[in-house]
Structure 1
Amino acid sequence: MSDATTQLAVVVLAAGQGTRMKSGLAKVLHPLGGRPMLHHVLAAAEALGPERLVTVVGRDADAVRGAFADRSRFALQEEQLGTGHAVLRAEAELEDFSGDVLVLYGDTPLLTAASLGRLQEHKRATGADLVLLSAVVDVPGIVVRDPAGGLARVVEATDASPEELTIQERNTGVYLLDRDLLWKSLAQVGRDNAQGEIYLTAVVQVLLGEGRRVEVLRLEDDDEGIGVNDRLDLARAEALLRARTLNRLMLDGVTVVDPATTSVDVDVSVGRDTRIEPGVVIRGETQIGERCHVKPGCVIEESVLGADVEIGPSAHLRPGCVLGDHVRIGNFVEIKNSTLGAGVKADHLSYIGDADVGEGASFGCGSITVNYDWKDKHRTTVGPGAVVGCNVNLVAPVSVGRNAAIAAGSTITRDVPDGSLALSRSRDEKHVEGWSRRKRPPEKLE
């Protein structure tokens, strides 16, 4: 029995081979909603405030440790001998711990902290020795109830009777029970099965056989219980997580015109009265202010937008962009690692990369910051109020002064003073033969 003061440890099983993913990447590191799959499980666990959080790793153990080194302790399961064996690998990390242990899975990423909190509360309220989460999901463990509605047993589909196979309620494998009871029960579980493995599910039968109280808590949302075993499952989980994210934004006052064609990562924040049109993709920890308009076909990655910003259609903000209030970015404009002050306008067919642009500046059609010299990246500075004409090349490193103007078709290689007009057009066309072989690395000429 547990009460409100009972300490909590969480053990996350993430050691599986994930062979059905057919991937060179560990299953729990596959991206989901802009984060590795395992992140979502750890985030739900962290929200409970556990005293210990242990992740059992196996395949690509170093990569998993590296991705989450500051969020979890780790235990290694070198040989995969079943879920019970995996939990036992965490015993050393819980040696001096006293309290309840919650067992989760790295490939069940949609469980919420609210549902796990309900699991804790159910254990407190009922005085159960073990509480398991159930759901209508496609897993082999069938929850068989007695006539009174209590748990009679959990049976694998391969061992179930025809009547039991019609039962839709299944065991998610998520358990909450006392630490000492967990180790005592696992010590009674053998490996006398076809796979020669130690099954965590056998703990349920051990406790039932001892007359212990085992409770089943049904998930309110069955989708939280789905596991990811292959790419089809991953796509389904991605769709569910995306819908959850968009629902949150819409309830917070954001208009999403067509959720079915809009993809927004879980860490994105959007201010109220912003309108997101169809076909938009927003990635990473992007922040979008209030009253913005993101038109169809835009991609925004790891960027910060102020209020009243207008983007698109079909514009691309690459990582590292910071846009001030009232910025207007038009169709087929790409911006990368640049800071644009309030009121900057680039209405069509421009590239602004590695630039610092003052407020009120504007870029004409086809204007480009030439930031790469085939070896290094360089920055461009455009002062407040400057106007850059159509088809202008600003060859970095270069600075355009406050209220300066660059005539259309110019290629600018020298700094332009404040208030000046820069014009660079040549009637002479010069060809330098053999330039590439002298100036460019041989591998670039292949």
Structure 2
Amino acid sequence: MSQRSCLSVILAAGEGTRMKSAMPKVLHAIAGLPMVAHVVKAAEAAGATGLALVIGHGTEEMRKAAQKFAPKAQTFVQEKRLGTAHAVLAARQAISKGYDDVLVMFGDTPLIDAQALASARQKLAEGAAVAVIGFRPPSPVGYGRLIEKDGRLVAIREEKDCSEDEKKIGFCNAGMMAVAGKHALQLLDKVGNKNAKGEFYLTDIVEIADAEGLDVVATEASFENALGINNRAELAEAEAIWQTRRRREAMLAGVTLIAPETVYFSHDTEIGADTVVEPNVWFGPGVRIAAGAKIHAFSHIEGATIASNCDVGPFARLRPGADLKQKAKVGNFCEVKQATIEEGAKVNHLTYIGDARVGAGANIGAGTITCNYDGYSKFFTDIGEGVFVGSNSSLVAPVTIGKGGYIASGSVITESVPDDALAFGRARQKTIPGKGKELRERFASAAAARKKAAE
């Protein structure tokens, strides 16, 4: 089958009015990725060599989004919504190129996996003209039934048209199918619209193919794989299923999740073996974590790279561009953005490091901030190897703290500091004996006078 070419036609023209959203339904995200992009990934993993997106509502928004998740896909517009077969034929130009297999998929089924698609393609390789993907829901009510006879699929019957015996069938239509490329247009062009809605239904090609003596079969996918999304409640259900799958994958790959149900991954999270993740951690897109890291509770991480044996959190926020080298430490209530924390460096408490480099072995005291933005432009702070920055210091970029430098607590540093130098950037302390007592007495007297006047 690896030698067979394959076109995936993904139907993504539905408005999704039940989502109650101005955004096209299929652009709503699962694990930080539009649901239609999950479908694209599954198609590619199943060997699709061509992609055709059939779009409608939000045409420009869809095209713009597709450039990110499917830059090589052709897009076709279904101007009028006249049924699923009509939607597939919107991609006639792509289908006519002579692919061996044509996969018809739906952009609102983000949990479909490559194996279910590959199984349908395998049936085509074995000689079938059409392979319909079916599933067995907890209750078949509302679904079209797959009518089989002597191992062949002879019809897909909508529930309203089913006999009492056919209604008892638990094997239902998932909507997706694989069609042999040499038969695809011939079958699609024979679909009529003599039905109550006057629409052209893709499911009709089963009976058309059977009537022509072509081999039509059904394959089976899990209920979860076939789950379609129509509203935000179902979107949340799909998210939960996706997260459960990903958590299990991570744990089976050697990651410790202390409270798995509280950890949220993104579609592209990479996490190495022997990493420990404590409860209530959120991974946004673009996170890569090497082996042996420890991510403490309530941390929020996106667009960050974390090397082996790093220690993050609790309550840490790593924003895009955060790059932690081996054995680096970013502690509680710290934020790092567009900055490199080099090997063994420590950013322990209540600190903001942005647009900066923290050199190997450096120690950043509590309450330190890099002042990287003047309201118009960003500037860089370079903190050298082995630097010690005392608590409650402000480093006003652009500024460089040389190797081995020492910044006294409470300093505001506006000029670069040479290697091994000590820098103070604060007003000299002045102590006036007895002045504290005098102030307290004055303040107490004023407060008593205000109280008496109010009476």
TM-score > 0.5, shorter chain as reference: yes
Query: Structure 1 residue 323: deviation in Å?
Result: 0.5
Alignment match, 2:155: 153
Provide, for residues 104-158 of structure 1, a one-character-per-residue CA deviation record: whole Å limited to 9, x for no partner: 1111111111221111223333x22211000124784432444645434211123
1:154-193 → structure 2 map (5 Å cutoff): 154-193=156-195
Alignment match, 2:225: 224
| From 33, 36, 39, the counterpart of 1:38 | 36
The one-letter code matched in structure 2 to 1:367 is: T
Structure 1 residues 178 and 340, CA gap change in structure 2 (3 angstroms): same
CA distance in 2, matches of 1:422, 1:148: 87
1:124-273 → structure 2 map (5 Å cutoff): 124-125=125-126, 127-137=127-137, 140-146=142-148, 148=150, 150-219=152-221, 221-273=222-274
Q: Name which of structure 1's ranges 153-162 and 6-15 shifts more when overlaid on structure 2.
A: 153-162
Q: What SS does the aligned partner of 1:225 have?
A: coil
C-alpha contact 1:328 1:343 (8 A) present in aligned 2? yes
Count of matched residue pairs: 425
Structure 1 residues 202 and 114, CA gap change in structure 2 (3 angstroms): same
Provide, for residues 133-187 of structure 1, a one-character-per-residue CA deviation record: whole Å limited to 9, x for no partner: 0012478443244464543421112333444334332101111122342222222
The one-letter code matched in structure 2 to 1:408 is: S
CA distance in 2, matches of 1:424, 1:91: 71
CA distance in 1, matches of 2:284, 2:151: 45
CA distance in 2, matches of 1:25, 1:165: 36
1:7-406 → structure 2 map (5 Å cutoff): 7-69=5-67, 70-125=71-126, 127-137=127-137, 140-146=142-148, 148=150, 150-219=152-221, 221-406=222-407
CA distance in 2, matches of 1:191, 1:121: 31
C-alpha contact 2:309 2:327 (8 A) present in aligned 1? yes
Query: Structure 1 residue 366: deviation in Å?
Result: 0.8
Structure 1 residues 90 and 394, CA gap change in structure 2 (3 angstroms): same
Alignment match, 1:418: 419
Q: What SS does the aligned partner of 2:132 have?
A: strand
Provide, for residues 285-323 of structure 1, a one-character-per-residue CA deviation record: whole Å limited to 9, x for no partner: 211111110011001101101110001111000111101
Choose 1 or 2 for highest CA Rg.
2
C-alpha contact 1:142 1:167 (8 A) present in aligned 2? no
CA distance in 1, matches of 2:62, 2:352: 37
Give the unaligned 5+ runs of structure 2.
431-455
Q: What SS does the aligned partner of 1:408 have?
A: coil
CA distance in 1, matches of 2:211, 2:81: 27
The one-letter code matched in structure 2 to 1:278 is: P
Alignment match, 2:450: none
Q: What SS does the aligned partner of 1:59 have?
A: coil
C-alpha contact 1:142 1:168 (8 A) present in aligned 2? no
Alignment match, 1:432: none
Q: Name which of structure 1's ranges 70-79 and 134-143 shifts more when overlaid on structure 2.
A: 134-143
CA distance in 1, matches of 2:79, 2:141: 25
TM-score, scaled relative to structure 1 = 0.91
Structure 1 residues 16 and 380, CA gap change in structure 2 (3 angstroms): same
Q: What SS does the aligned partner of 2:36 have?
A: helix
Structure 1 residues 64 and 147, CA gap change in structure 2 (3 angstroms): closer
The one-letter code matched in structure 2 to 1:33 is: A
Structure 1 residues 130 and 147, CA gap change in structure 2 (3 angstroms): closer
C-alpha contact 1:369 1:395 (8 A) present in aligned 2? yes
CA distance in 1, matches of 2:96, 2:228: 29
C-alpha contact 2:95 2:185 (8 A) present in aligned 1? no
Give the unaligned 5+ runs of structure 1.
430-446
C-alpha contact 1:33 1:242 (8 A) present in aligned 2? yes
CA distance in 1, matches of 2:125, 2:387: 66
Query: Structure 1 residue 7: deviation in Å?
Result: 2.7
Q: What SS does the aligned partner of 1:122 have?
A: helix
Q: What SS does the aligned partner of 1:337 have?
A: strand
Structure 1 residues 97 and 146, CA gap change in structure 2 (3 angstroms): closer
The one-letter code matched in structure 2 to 1:331 is: N
Query: Structure 1 residue 395: deviation in Å?
Result: 1.2
The one-letter code matched in structure 2 to 1:283 is: G
Structure 1 residues 5 and 320, CA gap change in structure 2 (3 angstroms): closer
Q: Name which of structure 1's ranges 405-414 and 46-55 shifts more when overlaid on structure 2.
A: 46-55
C-alpha contact 1:139 1:172 (8 A) present in aligned 2? no
C-alpha contact 1:123 1:131 (8 A) present in aligned 2? yes
Query: Structure 1 residue 210: deviation in Å?
Result: 3.2
The one-letter code matched in structure 1 to 2:382 is: T
Instruction: Output the aligned Cα RMSD.
Output: 1.9
The one-letter code matched in structure 2 to 1:253 is: G
TM-score, scaled relative to structure 2 = 0.89
The one-letter code matched in structure 2 to 1:389 is: G
C-alpha contact 2:276 2:294 (8 A) present in aligned 1? yes
Structure 1 residues 293 and 4, CA gap change in structure 2 (3 angstroms): closer
Structure 1 residues 146 and 81, CA gap change in structure 2 (3 angstroms): closer
C-alpha contact 2:133 2:218 (8 A) present in aligned 1? yes
CA distance in 2, matches of 1:224, 1:49: 18
